[in-house]
Amino acid sequence: MTVSSIPVNSTATTTAYRRTAVAAGWSLVVLAAVATLVALPYRSFDLDRFLVPKELALHVGATVALVLTIAGGATSPRTRFDQLFLAFIGLSAASALFAPNYWLASRALAISVSAAFTWWGARAAAVHGARDVIIRGLALVTVIGAGTALAQAYGVSSDLASMSRAPGGTFGNRNFMAHIAAAGVPLLGYLALTARGLPGALLAAVGMGINAAALVLSRTRAAWLALVCCVVVVVFAWLWRRGTMWRDASARRGLVLIMGGLIAGGVGAVVIPNTLDWRSDSPYLESAKGMVNYREGSGRGRLRQYANSARLALSHPLLGAGTGNWAVEYPGVAPRNDPSISQETGMTANPWPSSDWMAMLSERGVAAFVIWTTLLVGLAVAGLRGWGRLDLPLDARLRAITGTAVVVIIAVEGTFDAVLLLAMPTLMFWASMGALMPARPPDPALGPMGRGRRALLGVAVLLLGVASAEYSALKIVAMDVYSAGQLARAASIDPGSFRIRLRYAQLMMSRGSRTAACVEAKAARALFPRSPEARRVASGCK
């Protein structure tokens, strides 16, 4: 999906591409804001009512951004990261073809494709003038997300928020919110360090305080540990290549404000009374002490899940168990007393493993896992190299190390939770990478892509994006129809919904409509063959 680079050093060329590049950048930022704020009131779908609308926003934003850059000719150089991304998507698509649950595979693959679209669109837009739009916009989006969590923590109630995993705000889960807030810390730090005026630096520091407060209240140990690792990497990088940073008055002022914002937000979160109902008398200290506890509780449960997921990967080493199909196959390798298995349903408690890395390994195979690892490590190294170039302007070096910091945070969070398996972190991360990572200079020997070829590429991107967005939109319609009691129509709109088809089968069975019940029961069992309830309902069907 990458396109050839073209000369961008002339004033005429820069002017011609800037308009579509800025529009592409704004599309990513606006849709990221929409993804942050949107949620649905359908409580029967307690995860999907938060996740599906954010997936729709990801698909629309990524597609619009890339189509705009292609149509306007705002291209960027090919890199080895593009080749890795294409190889990863190719293997993911091959895995999806053989997945037992086609619908889950299509949904997960669509997120991966939109991740690539976001990366390519953001990078091309940044090269041609939208870099600041993307960085500042994404930083603000993380603050908005953290703000919804603080509002919930301090008593603002809404049908669009989940009370079971408060304070998750419009993310529905405090872990999901914390992952975004933590990734926003380096972006806000960059803005504070590079602000040329005190007002801009103060605004960044205030945003830092809001994110810090939300992170403390979340008690999300994965996010806390990720920030600790981020600080270690940044301190190492600073000791390695300090350069002239401390001669810059704006950078010195920004560092003071960063520290002030973090301390004020953290302390404020602890001392200001909130409405959160923690069972512990010292909840934040307890979470801090258990940050790396693997002997009991969720830490021990994760280790067992990782071991069983590795067994699943070993049984499907080439293409994995199927893109997005971990939840379908995991019960086959896990004992019933596994903490990842719900004792009520006999299925996994979550639709994905508690780790991006284990998901990539078990679902998509060893080769895809190696490529994914190489891609993320390569991005982190590229950022460190950019920081190490003392010949570059300070703001360019700071962008590079900020990119490394974001990679470290996402990679560490993804070790303990689902992060880049979800739409909102995917949009935020890959747009950040496109704007932050050092860009190779364009090769003047490569001419512009022809109009016909550009049109074909744009149409291909548009069709893929529309297909992904349509599936998400149909799932939203099905939720609405299901909530209105029209189960038959909901099942026809979203035939890949296990919840809808099983519930419809149970309803028809209770009404004595055995033929209709068997059709739906068999369909539900085909989606999740190891579901005890689907097997039970379909047991009497021929």
pLDDT for 191-224, tens place per residue? 999 998 999 999 999 999 999 999 999 999 999 9
Give the amino acid at 11. Answer: T
Query: Can you give the pLDDT at residue 371?
Result: 98
CA-to-CA distance for 439 and 124, rounded, in angstroms?
A: 10
The three-point CA angle 120-125-131 to 5° equals 115
Q: In which band, very low, low, confident or very high, does the pLDDT at 7 lie, cut at 50, 70 and 90?
A: very low
Query: Can you give the pLDDT at residue 19?
Result: 87
Residue appearing with tokens 């967005």: 469
Q: 356-415 pLDDT, tens per residue?
A: 999 999 999 999 999 999 999 999 999 999 999 988 888 999 999 999 999 999 999 999
CB 342 within 8 A of CB 348: yes
CB 496 within 8 A of CB 520: no
How much is the average pLDDT of 43-70? 95
Check pLDDT > 50 for residue 14: yes
Q: In which band, very low, low, confident or very high, does the pLDDT at 524 lie, cut at 50, 70 and 90?
A: very high
Cis check: omega of the bond before 167, within 30 degrees of 0: yes
Q: 292-345 pLDDT, tens per residue?
A: 666 566 778 889 999 999 999 999 999 999 999 999 999 999 987 888 999 888
Query: Can you give the pLDDT at residue 288?
Result: 67
pLDDT above 90: percentage of residues in the chain: 73
Sketch the domain layout of the chain as residue ranges. 11-33+42-70+101-301+339-434+450-463, 486-542
Query: Can you give the pLDDT at residue 2?
Result: 41
Query: Can you give the pLDDT at residue 12?
Result: 45
CA-to-CA distance for 411 and 406, rounded, in angstroms?
A: 8
Q: Which helix (H) or strand (E) holds 424?
A: helix 423-436
- Stretch among 40-54, 266-280, 349-363 having the lowest mean pLDDT: 266-280
Closest CA to 144 of 170, 121, 163: 170
Task: Say which residue, 287 or 489, is predicted with more confidence.
Answer: 489
Q: In which band, very low, low, confident or very high, does the pLDDT at 505 lie, cut at 50, 70 and 90?
A: very high
Q: What are phi and psi of 304, to 5 degrees?
A: -65, -40
